[in-house]
Each structure stands twice: as C-alpha cells, then as structure tokens.
Structure 1
Amino acid sequence: MLTYLTWARVPTLLLTLACASLAAVPDAVAAPAPAPAPAKTGSGEAAFTREQLDQMLAPVALYPDALLAQVLMASSYPGDVTDAVAWSKAHPDAKGEDAVRQVANQAWDPSVQSLVAFPQLLAVLGQDPAWVQKMGDAFLAQPDAVMDAVQRLRRQAQSAGHLDSNEQQKVSAQPGVASAPQTIVIESADPQVVYVPSYNPSVVYGSWAYPAYPPYYYPPPPYYYPGGALLSFGIGVAVGGALWGDLDWGHGDIDIDVNRYNEFNSNRQINRNDSKWKHNAANRDGVPYRDGATRERFDGARDGARDGAAQRQAYRGRDDARAADRDRARQSLEQRGFDTPATSNREARDRAGASQRELGQRPAGAQGRAHAGDNAFRNQGGANHGRPPGSRPENAFSGTRNPGQSMGDANRGHRSVQSSQRPAAARPQGRPMSRPAAPRGGGGGGRRR
C-alpha cells in the first residue's frame, strides 16, 4: 500500500519541480515578446506597413515629381492602366504629346491618358497589375504615409550617392516638416521634356533595411535604355502640357495645373478652383477598394454615379433587356436577307432619300416597269382589280357622297330579297323565249334573204 501511494505521488512531485525550475530562469533568457501587429485603418483592416510601402514604391520613388504624381493618380484606376498598356503595345510608335491626344476619346481617367506619352513607363507598369493596384490603394488610404515613404527612399538613394542633379533632372532640398527636416524635390531639367529614369532598386538604394521585404524590380525593355548604366535615363519625351499634376509635399495630396489639364481634356473641363486632385470613383471600373474606410468614402459616390446614369437611360426610354431583344431580332432579319428596321428617325429619312435617288437613276423603262409592278401588287386580289385607269378605287365608303344613288341601290337590294322569298306560283312569269328555226337545206350559217 505504501509503495502504491509513493508512485501515485510521483506526477505531482515532477510538476512541482518543473514549476520551480521555470521560476528560477532569469529574465534575460525569457521568450521574446510577439511582434507588434500592423497598424489598422479606420475600418479595422490592416494598413500597409512601412516595410510594404518602401517595397512597392522603390521602383518609382526616384521619378520626377510631376511624373510620380501622374503614376500615383493613375494607379488608383488599375483597370484603365491595363487598357493603356495594351494600347501602347498596339501603337509602339506613339509617344509624347501626340500619343496623349490620340487617346483623348478613350473612356480612361485623364491621369491614365497622360501615361501613354511614356511607353517605357507603361512597359514597367504592365509587368505586375497587382503591384499597380496596391500602389493606388495605398495612396487612397494612406497618402501621408506614401509621401513619407518616397522621401525616405530618396534620402537613402542620395546617401548612397545615386541621386544628384544632371542634364536630365534637377534635385533640390526644400524645408520640410518637423519629422523630416528637408524635402527632396526632383524636377525635369527642361519642363517640356521628361526623362524616365531606370534603375535597380536593390542597388541604387544601397543596403536594404528590410531583408524580408526586398524591393520590387521591373526592368524595362532594354531598347529604351541602351546604355545599361546603374541609373539610366534613355531618350527624353516631349510632353508639353500633358503632365498637369504635382506632388504637394507635407499635405499628402496632388496639385492640379488647371490650364494644362483643360488643354488636354477639352471634353472634361474642370473649374479653376478645382486645383486639388480628387479620385473619381466612376472610373474605378468595378475594381474593389482594399479597405473599408476607402470603400465608405468612394463606393457611395460610384453607386450614385451609376444610378444617375441608369436613371438618365430610363428617362430616355432605354431598357437593356428590350435593347437586347431588338438587337437579336435585327440580327435574325439580317441573316435571312431582310432589311432591318431603322433605329432612328434620321436613319429612316436617309434610307428614304437613298431609295428616291436610286429610283431617279434608273432608265425610263425601268422606272415604268417598277411603277407597273407596284400598281399590280397593290391591286392584286382586290375588288378593284382590272378597273379603268384613272377611276377611283371602290371600297366600303363608295357612294357616301351621292345619297340618291345609295338609296336606289338599297331599294333594289330590298326588292330582290322579297322576290326570292315569294312562292314560285306567285312569282311573275317571264316572256317565253322563241328561237328562230334552223334554215332548210344545206348551207351553214347563211342568213335568209
């Protein structure tokens, strides 16, 4: 019994010794504290961290301010950027101000239209649409953090000796805010010509501080930068006024040059007081926003724009289902060789005029045959077929302008009905018909003399 009790107490003793050993471990070797959770946005979703922002902005942080502003605005419309990339590939010779004017009628946001001036830039953005969308989401949700990341990367490149003024760009330091004593500004040496830099972020920024978040790198096609230097600029692009945005450091937004904007967007004019960029949710093309706070800001505006467009369509009598049915019916008629109905009054008038011109160009004989065929078709099978030319067609209302004739026709019809209802004996006997006797003798049908 004692042995059994002793062994039964062994687990308890071991547990006591283990607890005592853990208590004796010094604080220096205690388990590390868990990493802090990422910051949250107003709606609860995790915002982009400092490491993630530096990682995604590294490929574009050294762009001139005006070009970087267009990239940040355009990235908030990732679907339009994808369309612009495809257009640029289909038009390899289009660049500069002329390319921007060629896409003036595209449904893209104006910030995206400006990017077609730089085919080498679109070649970079087209390599990773997900990266483009993340940049746009970050700029919409955390504009101040994005601006800070750009300045942080520029200071790092400058410290590594890879960001200086040269023939293509002008680099200057301006007074900043308390958290950043200076702001690094990059401008084109010639305001009318923009050089898009090409560089490897893993090298140009020196030692990278976040090994778990290496910088993105999307090399452009080599024929745009034949030199192959660490920091290349390639051929300058004459853009004129195609770039109309500029970064407003310290305020987390973008200034708009209204005059330049209106010059290149004649069908989308803005007021002179609208000097700050505003994201247009209607141009988002259904791409969802990343975080709830951004969705709350812009989804309502997008839905309102969509509802307003639908209401305008309904007011104009346009229904999608009925329009689809009409299109299917029109296609069926075309396949069977029939002329489809006109879709507007103008089209009907144009068709009528074309028919008259075609008839006027026929020879005289052909015109007569055409009129004769039309008349025969109208008279075929009707009660008036074979009536004398020039006479009026008869119908149910014939005689209404001659009451006497109408009354006489009615009396004759009435007497005919009464006569048909009398007994045979009471009916008047007609005169007996006598036939002349056949001539005697031979002779055929000669008359008697």
Structure 2
Amino acid sequence: MLQSLIAARDKVAAFLLCILLLAPGNAILYAQQEPPPPPPPGQTLSPDQLDDLVAPIALYPDPLLSQIMVAATYPLEVVQAFQWLQRNPGINGPALTQAAQQQNWDASIQALVVFPDVLKRLNDDVTWTTNLGNAFLAQQQDVMDAVQRMRQKAQQAGKLASTPQLNVTTATDAGQPVIQIMPADPAVLYVPVYDPAWIWGPPLWYPYPRWYWPPRSVIVGGLGFGFGLGINVGFFFGGGWGGWGGWGWHPGWGNHTVIVNNTFIHRYNFNTVNVTNVHGTAVWAHDAAHRQGVPYASPALRSQYQGNVRQNVAPRSAPQVNRTQNAQPAERFGNRQVPQSAPQAQNRSAFGGMQNNGEAARAHADHGYSSLGAARSTPARSAPAPRAAPAPRSGGGGGRRK
C-alpha cells in the first residue's frame, strides 16, 4: 500500500512539473520565435526574404534560370502555356516549338514548353512564381545577388559541385566573382530537383514551394538532390541548334542584367514584332503587354508599366546592339472580353473561373505578394483568376526598363 501511495505521489509531482514548465512564463523555452512583421506594401524585400524566394531555382543552370526569371514576370501566360501543353499531349519535337510559335505569349514562355516539368512547377505554385516576377521587376540586382549568395552557401556546405550533368565554375564578370552553372552537354539539359531545406535549412521568411521534393521523376541523384530526365534541346530546335551559347537568355552577373539573344528568338520564329534588331543581343526589358492585366506589386511599378503598354520601356543598348523602341498605343487588358475564337478561351485559367480578368488578377497579386512576410509555417496559395485574353504579339528582347 505504501509503495502504491509513493508511486501515485510521484506521478502527481511529475504532472505538476509539466504544468509549471508549460506555463506562460516558461513558454518562451518551447515556442518558436515569431517571424518579423511583413514589410509595408511597396517596400523592398530584405536579403533573407529574397534568399528564401530564389532558393528553389538558385541551382538551376544559368540559361534556364535567367529564362525563368523573365517568364515569371508574365504569370498569366505561364498558366496559359501549361494548360496548352495539357490540351496537346501528343505534340513533341520540332512540332511542339512550331505550335508554340503560334501562341500569343512572350518568347520566354514560348521556349519554356520544351521543359514541361519546369512549366508545371511554375504553374503549380503560381503565387510563388508571381512573387518571383514581382521581385525581379522591382529589385533585379538584389534578386541576382541572392542567387549568387545561395550558390556560395551551397558550395561552402559541400552541396554544389560539378556533376556529369552540370559544370559548376567560378569566374569573374565585370570585376565580380560569380558562380556559374552550365549544362555539361552542349545539347542536353538536366533540370536539378532538390530540397532547399536539405541544402540551406528551413526558410526564415517565405515558405518553399511544395513542388520541389520529394520528386517523382528523379533519374540520377542522391539524398536531397537529383536530376530529371535529360531534355535534348537540339531535338526540339532542329539542325540549327548551336549549343548553349546560342540560347535566348543568359545572366549578365556583373551588371545584374539578363541578356536576350534576339538571333535565337528570330531564328525560331518566336514573338519578334517589336524586335527591331533581330541579329544580336540586348539587355532584357519587361514587356507590359504580356502582363495581361495582372497587377504590379507597387505604385512605382504600376506607374512605370501600366500607363502605356510600351512607352514605359526605355531603350538601353547592350553590347552588339543598336535597338530602338516603338511605342504602342495603350490597351486595357483587365476588362476585355475573351473572344470565343481565341485559343485561350477553350478552358478556364488555373487561377479560377471569374469573368473579369483585371479583378481576378488583382486579387491574386495582392494575396501573393503579401504572403512574403507570412510565417514560415503558412504555405502560399494562389487566389482565383480568370480566363486570359490573348495579348498582342511582342518581342521579349531589347531595351531596359528605367
């Protein structure tokens, strides 16, 4: 009996001790630290926020990385392109790129159809895609610095090195040391599939998208990092393919720019209506026409791009470029009815089924960009948006925004 009473007393004491440890005064011992409050609307993102934002693509090869950063500024066309691929599963090879040429998308979106897994990831978390594009428009230099910062951290941790699929080198660009990642094969690109948390640890600000890990199609790789099936880019672009030096987009790390190869865009008949110099390179400039009514994240960007579709893009020459901009009349995308004959009118956008393009896109963008300051445990979700109206054909290269 005495032993039973002692055992009961010990259990009660242990229970009371647990209660005391979990009391409000000791909660700080067990609770996770609250994240800092989100920045006010229009305020630039901090380096930590940008690091989390670029982590899912920071280890992508340079040609694909720069193309994605450009394409992310046109999130509605990303969704349209993914849905178009879903409706046309039987098209492959040169026929795929030829069919994409007929779509009213920016050239960065047209050429992305040869990487269906990448397009699916951008579509699956379109809020993250929109946030990446917004950040790239507002803080292009900071975004590119964040990519280099994350590459340096991965390399220092022993988790970024050359493989049979990718060559990782350190070079100097405009006097700045940079880490370059290029496909090891001149015609084949392997898209990395990795868990950012395994490489850099948990996010501090912005939750990583959930499409990166665990993978379903990793062919080669190990714990936390692998590659999907290689994409033979030469197969899609025919005999004119000349290696990655001729790809349409490359990062200018030292000058914090994306260099557009207009020769590539012209050769493969992508959108070149406003590309006056079709044989050369140019500093990339955002084409507001392909934004298709998706709001910009700050008053400064709205003032820069929405007043007139093309007049807000000022020309600036890059090496080997002699390019001018032809201003186009302003056109409203937000309230225009989608014609029944348009290819995009056959299916509703993945944003949702609302009829007013501008209203839905506004709701999506407001929700998405504000989530940058959310706690790490709150995954970003996309808000509904409508079917998209076709945008005027427009080139993706040349000129630089002010």
Tell me whether the two structures share a fold, i.e. TM-score over 0.5. Answer: yes
> Following TM superposition, by how much is the alpha carbon of 1:68 offset from its aligned partner in structure 2, in angstroms?
0.5
Q: 1:284 aligns with which of 274, 291, 314?
A: 291
1:135–1:46 CA distance, 2 compared to 1 (3 A): same
TM-score by length of 1: 0.55
> Following TM superposition, by how much is the alpha carbon of 1:117 offset from its aligned partner in structure 2, in angstroms?
0.4
Partner of 1:344: none
1: CA distance, partners of 2:98 / 2:39: 43
What CA deviation, in whole Å up to 9, does each residue of 1:62-109 have, x standing for no partner? 000000111001000000000111122233455565422221110111
Partner of 1:248: 252
1: CA distance, partners of 2:152 / 2:39: 24
Partner SS, residue 172 of structure 1: strand
Partner of 2:4: none
Q: 2:171 aligns with which of 174, 184, 187?
A: 174
Q: Is the 8 A contact 1:97 1:238 kept in 2?
A: no
1:164 aligns with 2:161: yes
Q: 1:263 aligns with which of 256, 267, 271?
A: 267
Partner of 1:75: 72
Quick one: which amino acid aligns to residue 255 of structure 1?
Answer: I
Partner SS, residue 250 of structure 1: helix
1:218 aligns with 2:245: no
Partner of 1:124: 121
Give the CA RMSD over aligned residues. Answer: 3.1
1: CA distance, partners of 2:94 / 2:230: 12
Quick one: which amino acid aligns to residue 262 of structure 2?
Answer: V
1:172–1:96 CA distance, 2 compared to 1 (3 A): farther
Partner SS, residue 164 of structure 1: coil
Partner of 1:197: 192
TM-score by length of 2: 0.61
2: CA distance, partners of 1:95 / 1:121: 16
Partner of 2:59: 62
Q: Is the 8 A contact 2:308 2:330 kept in 1?
A: no
> Following TM superposition, by how much is the alpha carbon of 1:211 offset from its aligned partner in structure 2, in angstroms?
3.8
Partner SS, residue 113 of structure 1: helix
For residues 280-319 of structure 1, the aligned pairs below 5 Å read: 280-302=287-309, 307=329
For residues 22-421 of structure 1, the aligned pairs below 5 Å read: 45-92=42-89, 94=91, 98-175=95-172, 182-205=177-200, 207-208=201-202, 211-219=204-212, 222-227=215-220, 229=222, 230-240=224-234, 241=241, 243-265=247-269, 268=272, 270=275, 271=277, 272=279, 275-302=282-309, 307=329
1: CA distance, partners of 2:182 / 2:93: 18
Quick one: which amino acid aligns to residue 61 of structure 1?
Answer: A
Partner of 1:338: none
Partner of 1:353: none
What CA deviation, in whole Å up to 9, does each residue of 1:388-411 have, x standing for no partner? xxxxxxxxxxxxxxxxxxxxxxxx
Partner SS, residue 109 of structure 2: helix
What CA deviation, in whole Å up to 9, does each residue of 1:112-152 have, x standing for no partner? 11111011111211211111111001111100000011001
Partner SS, residue 111 of structure 1: helix
> Following TM superposition, by how much is the alpha carbon of 1:172 offset from its aligned partner in structure 2, in angstroms?
0.4
1:155–1:195 CA distance, 2 compared to 1 (3 A): same
Q: Is the 8 A contact 1:124 1:220 kept in 2?
A: no
Structure 1: stretches of 5+ with no match in the other structure: 1-34, 311-319, 325-449
2: CA distance, partners of 1:121 / 1:254: 19
1: CA distance, partners of 2:57 / 2:90: 24
Percent identity between the aligned chains? Answer: 36
> Following TM superposition, by how much is the alpha carbon of 1:277 offset from its aligned partner in structure 2, in angstroms?
1.2
Q: Is the 8 A contact 1:69 1:247 kept in 2?
A: yes
> Following TM superposition, by how much is the alpha carbon of 1:153 offset from its aligned partner in structure 2, in angstroms?
0.7
What CA deviation, in whole Å up to 9, does each residue of 1:336-372 have, x standing for no partner? xxxxxxxxxxxxxxxxxxxxxxxxxxxxxxxxxxxxx
1: CA distance, partners of 2:51 / 2:121: 18
1:251–1:98 CA distance, 2 compared to 1 (3 A): farther
Structure 2: stretches of 5+ with no match in the other structure: 1-34, 235-240, 312-326, 340-402
2: CA distance, partners of 1:201 / 1:55: 9
2: CA distance, partners of 1:274 / 1:227: 35
1:56–1:95 CA distance, 2 compared to 1 (3 A): farther
> Following TM superposition, by how much is the alpha carbon of 1:267 offset from its aligned partner in structure 2, in angstroms?
5.3
Larger helix fraction of residues: 1
Quick one: which amino acid aligns to residue 196 of structure 1?
Answer: V
Partner SS, residue 121 of structure 1: helix
How many residues end up aligned between the 2 structures? Answer: 272
1: CA distance, partners of 2:207 / 2:36: 20
Q: Which 10-residue stretch deviates more, 259-268 or 156-165?
A: 259-268
> Following TM superposition, by how much is the alpha carbon of 1:307 offset from its aligned partner in structure 2, in angstroms?
3.9
2: CA distance, partners of 1:95 / 1:168: 23
1:176–1:264 CA distance, 2 compared to 1 (3 A): closer
1:274–1:301 CA distance, 2 compared to 1 (3 A): farther
Q: Is the 8 A contact 1:196 1:233 kept in 2?
A: yes
Q: Relative contact order: is structure 1 or structure 2 higher (C-alpha 8 Å, sep ≥ 6)? A: 2
1:220–1:104 CA distance, 2 compared to 1 (3 A): farther
Quick one: which amino acid aligns to residue 179 of structure 2?
Answer: I
1:309–1:48 CA distance, 2 compared to 1 (3 A): closer
1:96–1:194 CA distance, 2 compared to 1 (3 A): farther
> Following TM superposition, by how much is the alpha carbon of 1:238 offset from its aligned partner in structure 2, in angstroms?
1.8
